Structure 1
Amino acid sequence: MPIPTIFVYKTQLTKLLLLITSLFFISQSLADVSISIDKGLVNKSFTGKVYVIIAPVKKDSMPLQTNYWFLPIEIISKEVKDWDGKSAILINRNDTRYIKETSADDVNYELQVLIRVNKRNADPFSSPGNIYSAPIALTSSAHKSLDLSVVATKVIDQDSPLQKSKPPETEQLKLFSRQSQLLSEFFEQDYSVNVAVRLPKEWASNSEKKWPVLYYISGMGGNELEFLRLVKGREAYFDKMITVSVDAMNYGGHSVFADSANTGPWASMLLNEIIPHVDSTYRGVGAEQRYLTGISSGGWSSLWLQVKYPTDFSGVWSFVPDPVDFRDFQRINLYSSNQNFYVDSLGEDRLVARTSKGKVLIKSRDFISLETALGEGGQIRSFEYVFSPRGEDGMPIDFFDRQTGEINRQVIEAWKPYDIRLYLKKNWSIIKDNLSGKLNIYGGEKDNFFLEGAVRLLKEQLVYLDAKEDVEVISGLGHAFDQEKVEEMLKVIVGSESVKQ
């Protein structure tokens, strides 16, 4: 369960802790915010989420995109239907609300409005097409009531600073958007995925040679370019292989490249559309030298693909994956009776995130409060989009009651096909000949999202099955790549030949 930037830096987490303890004074005086949209921005009625966001002042006037899992922020949201944008709507603190507290008394706040028009992307604060207002400074809480009238006048576009900057194409780096027939048929509209391909240094000059291919899958909030971080400083290795990354994100969150009743056939899309295109266009060797890696949600995705389709890949290096055993779903045994997402058996608050030193970053109840305010695309909701059956309303069924935290055992029963440990237990005798020796799975002893326990349970299961796989919880590692294991992976992929850095 990675944070939006996927890597958790110790220095960042330390700074974040300093901000988390009391209330926004400004928000206590907020009464009504009257919202309308500039007439030139809408040409039809709108149904969806409208947000009021209060956060520390930023240097620019873009929507308040922050690392909002941890930073002080207040989000108030309202679901509207058939709104023309001209007549004003009112939002106040009685609507769906999330607040992250701060002890700082010298912070200036600003308020912005955001209208979530984009129904394709997970992050409302950066999605093209979403409409927002200029910031309004909130400098005093002296008034008993603070009424504001806000007109949204701006649109996030593809060139917005909020869009993750994309490097230019080069002889080695190819960027493209590819329409998926399978996903288009599922959603009954054109659906494309973004793809990045990095070619070997000698790819153009050695036109007959075929190359090993590594598929990299980002974590929650990442995109198809995130793998370039892994390449940096390791170019000598990556110059000897093709590296491919497909943007895994969608409106519901992370696809995890699993076929799903709610998000569609993402695994089938990769296997039947992307991989054949890469091999034929860029001269991949084929399944015998096709590999997978990923981190967090990408760690789960890469492991899932290797386990479910063992003959299509020759090895996986899965780093700090999302829960691979649902008996330890961030310290919750989903199969045990009377489990609660918010509190443990002693009535103590459950946590979603901690620092590497064990300090609390966010509790489960607060995390869900944030996700509820934001709407579709959050981390926990992302699991439901992939694992849960579709309800009568056409939406994924919640696996726990958002008010009480009580876990729905019937929904969890439907999740079982996605429990990787359980799948291996049931199918090892059938798949072992095609899978043995291909699994490299690494948890972090100090994982910031409590994912290490599931890796330990998976290791125990594989030992019981007498499976000779490399599964390890690495001492001192947080929610990050282990650099030594990355090096080992690259050496396997490029072979035993000498690589000069």
Structure 2
Amino acid sequence: MRNMLLFLCLVLLSASATAQQKISVTFPKSLENTSLDGRLLVMLSTDSTTEPRNQVRDEVTTAQIFGIDVNEWKPDSPATIDANVFGYPIKSLKDIPAGTYYAQAVLHRYETFKRKDGHTVKLPMDRGEGQNWRTAPGNLVSNVVKVQLDPKKTDALKLTLDKKNPPLPEPKDTKFIKHIKMQSKLLTEFWGRPMFLGAHILLPDGFEEHPEARYPLMVFHGHFPADFSGFRETPPPADMDTTDYIERFRLYGYKKIQAQEAHNFYKTWTSKNFPRFIVIEIQHANPYYDDSYAVNSANLGPYGDAITYELIPYIEKQFRGIGQGWARFLYGGSTGGWEALAAQVFYPDEYNGCFAACPDPIDFRAYTTVNIYNDKNAYYQEGTFRKTLRPGKRDYLGHVSAMLMDMNHKELAIGTNSRSGDQWDIWEAVYSPVGENGYPKPIWNKLTGEIDKAVAAYWRENYDLQHIIQRDWAKLGKKLQGKIHIYCGDMDNYYLNNAVYLMEETLKSLDNPKADAEVRYGDRFEHCWNGDPSVPNYISRLRYNTMYVPKILERIEKTAPAGADLKSWRY
């Protein structure tokens, strides 16, 4: 009898756990008359001013999000978000407080790739948006619906994916700005389908009038550029609206500031004594992120080789670049800062200097706030009697706005297997070996934070830039001497200055030859300080294309080989 009562109690508890409110999502045949693969995302928000899909973020102001993988999902067949589905920041639907919410659903569509390495994987192909699930053309989206949520109820809230994100227009050429796209043989072979690289190209003043000129090339690395930004031939209207507010800089009217800086750059670019260069911004969005980190990767393919040996020579041939390593330079901030330094290290003969601002972690002993080699867990420090969560984001006063665990859990809700299209997942996709399932092998358990030391060792030997420079200095030293410039605010929002300190120690210790590197810090400057202490971040970040020019010219004059063309581009 006692066993029977215990059994009945367990049945009732199980029924109670399943008899909770769910969210049911469908799409009609009229929208897509075929089965679909992807990640179904459902967002809840109490803020009606913007769509919930645009409110998912690291900070406490985030919307709630849940996600499930769907495979061969058929029209009119419901997919269900229930209490067992992982969510961020609240982990389960059953724990959402009862109340009124604005709900929205998105299907981030996946495609099937049969890669050269024999793995078949399902991933979201970039469709011109820069790997963004919110705006990717063809993604299915629901209208925002006002709902009453009560976890104690048993009925299903119903959402319908009733529209698609529209295609995005291609940028148009102008006198100064051109756009190219080329199919990469290397990437096409790796991914098993046609893969392309693109670039936005800023031509020098007088390009058409001086057909004899051959130009140095500046590679401005960074996140996916929809077009060449920061260049404007006309000044902003005097009465341009200045009511826009940017929280990052706590500033009104930033759009007008950007427009004025863009016009100022145009005036500098076309001025009589400014040196004539070609500047390019690369489009290398891929199935994992808005760019590739410009290196070869087991999971992304040979993007480093494709950019350096396919794309750049293609551009130089078409637009009369000098086409030699002494006349190529790299710069960028954040992701672009890491890329600039990495490309210089991995292709030391192909580039003549890098200017790496606020670079993503360049020493994995300071992978933001984690030492992946010594720490056991990425999300917290653990003592005998307590655990302390690791911070992930701060301001210049040290106030923490997000924990590292929360940032990773957000990504886990958006996508499994490193498919969120966000920051921690792309680091993992670029740096990790391929796992048995064909996806990147995790550096740590995304749910618990437990670090995989074997993966950490792989990262160290292949992508830890500090370790690689120190390990290989005997063969790299003469090729990198005088080429490395690093800048970082000492209150970087993502603690990126910690790795710069470690890199600086190594660079100072190197000998035979000396590194002759430049490392500078901005006092109390946040992400992404790029070397100018005389103006705020919100201004200096708009001046990459001019601020390093004096040092580039000095480097060219010092290192150009005998007989090099130093005159045709100085008109």
What letter matches 2:109 in structure 1? V
For structure 2, the 5+ residue unaligned runs are: 1-18, 92-96, 111-123, 232-257, 271-275, 534-543, 558-565, 567-571
Aligned-pair CA distance for 1:129: 1.2
Cα displacement string for residues 294-336 of structure 1 (whole angstroms, at most 9, x for unaligned residues)? 1111110110001111111111110100110111111222221
Q: Which moved more, 1:222-231 or 1:181-190?
A: 222-231
Task: Give the residue type in structure 1 aligned to 2:188.
Answer: S
TM-aligned CA deviation for residue 234 of structure 1: 2.5
Match of 1:314 among 346, 352, 355: 352
Q: 1:68 aligns with which of 57, 62, 65?
A: 57
- Given that 1:65 and 1:126 are in contact with CA atoms closer than 8 Å, whether structure 2 keeps it comes out as no
Instruction: State the SS of the aligned residue for 1:110.
Output: strand
> Does structure 2 retain, via aligned residues, the 8 Å contact 1:212–1:493?
no
Match of 1:54 among 40, 44, 53: 44
Which residue, 415, 422, 432 being the options, matches 1:378? 422
Q: Residues 101 and 149 of structure 2 are in contact (CA less than 8 Å); yes or no, is this contact kept in structure 1?
A: no
Tell me which residue corresponds to 1:278: 315
Shift of 1:443: 1.6
CA distance in 1, matches of 2:48, 2:190: 40
Query: 1:242: which partner in 2?
Result: 278
Q: Find the counterpart in structure 2 of residue 475 from structure 1.
A: 523
| Aligned residue pair count | 457
2:3 aligns to what?
A: none
Cα deviation, 1:83-139, whole Å, max 9, x if unaligned, reads 1122122213421211279xxx9x984211111115113321111111111110246
Alignment of 1:83-98 (within 5 A): 83-98=73-88
What is the one-letter code of the residue matched to 2:265?
A: R
Gaps (5+ residues) in structure 1?
A: 1-28, 160-164
In 1, are the aligned partners of 2:220 and 2:331 still within 8 Å (CA)?
yes
Residue of structure 1 equivalent to 2:446: 402
Paired residues of 1:33 and 1:147 also in contact (CA < 8 A): yes
The structure-2 alpha-carbon separation of the partners of 1:146 and 1:456, relative to structure 1 and needing over 3 Å to count, comes to: farther
Aligned residue type for 1:420: L
1:492 aligns with 2:528: no
| 1:110-189 to 2 correspondences below 5 Å | 110-118=102-110, 119-121=124-126, 122-138=131-147, 144=153, 147-159=156-168, 168-189=172-193
Q: Secondary structure at the match of 1:344?
A: strand
Find the partner of 1:428 among 462, 473, 483. Answer: 473
Give yes or no for contact 2:33–2:75 (8 Å, CA) kept in 1. Answer: no
In the superposition, the TM-score normalised over structure 2's length comes to 0.75
Partner of 1:438: 483
Give distance in 1, aligned partners of 2:56 and 2:66. Answer: 17
Partner of 1:255: 292
Task: Flag the 1:36–1:362 CA change in 2: closer, same or farther, 3 A.
Answer: same
Amino acid at match of 1:489: Y
Aligned to 2:195: 191
Partner Cα separation in structure 2 for residue 169 and residue 494 of structure 1: 28
Bigger Rg, which one = 2
- Determine if contact 1:57/1:108 at 8 Å carries over to the other structure: no
Deviation, structure 1 residue 157: 1.9
Contact 2:362–2:466 under 8 Å retained in 1: yes
Contact 1:255 1:266 in 2 (8 A): yes
Distance, in Å, in 2 between the alignment partners of 1:143 and 1:405 is 32
Mapped to 2, the partners of 1:227 and 1:302 lie a distance apart of 19
Paired amino acid for 1:348: T
Cα pair 2:58 2:407 within 8 Å, conserved: yes
Distance 1:268 1:292, change over 3 A: same
Distance 1:265 1:175 in 2: 22
Of the structure 1 ranges 249-258 and 290-299, higher mean CA displacement relative to structure 2 is found in 249-258
TM-score normalised according to structure 1 size: 0.84
More RCO (CA 8 Å, sep 6+): 1
Q: Considering only aligned residues, what root-mean-square deviation do their CA atoms show, in Å? A: 2.7
Of residues 255-264 and 230-239 in structure 1, the stretch that sits farther from structure 2 once superposed is 230-239
Cα deviation code 1:406-460 (max 9, x no counterpart): 1111111111110101111011121222211111111210100011010010010
| Equivalent position of 2:507 in the other structure | 462
Q: Contact between 1:33 and 1:91, CA under 8 Å: does it hold in 2?
A: yes
Relative to structure 1, the CA distance from residue 259 to residue 76 in structure 2 (aligned partners, 3 Å threshold; closer, same or farther) is same
Quote the Cα distance in structure 2 between the aligned partners of 1:69 and 1:225: 28
Counterparts of 2:336 and 2:76 in 1: how far apart (Å)?
42
The answer to whether the Cα contact below 8 Å between 1:218 and 1:226 also exists between their aligned partners in 2 is no
Distance 1:56 1:211, change over 3 A: farther
Identity, % of aligned pairs? Answer: 26
User: How far did residue 492 of structure 1 move?
Assistant: 3.0
Secondary structure at the counterpart of residue 335 of structure 1 = coil
Query: Which deviates more, 227-236 or 239-248?
Result: 227-236
- Structure 1 residue 146: deviation in Å? 6.4
Q: Residue in 2 aligned with 1:294?
A: 332
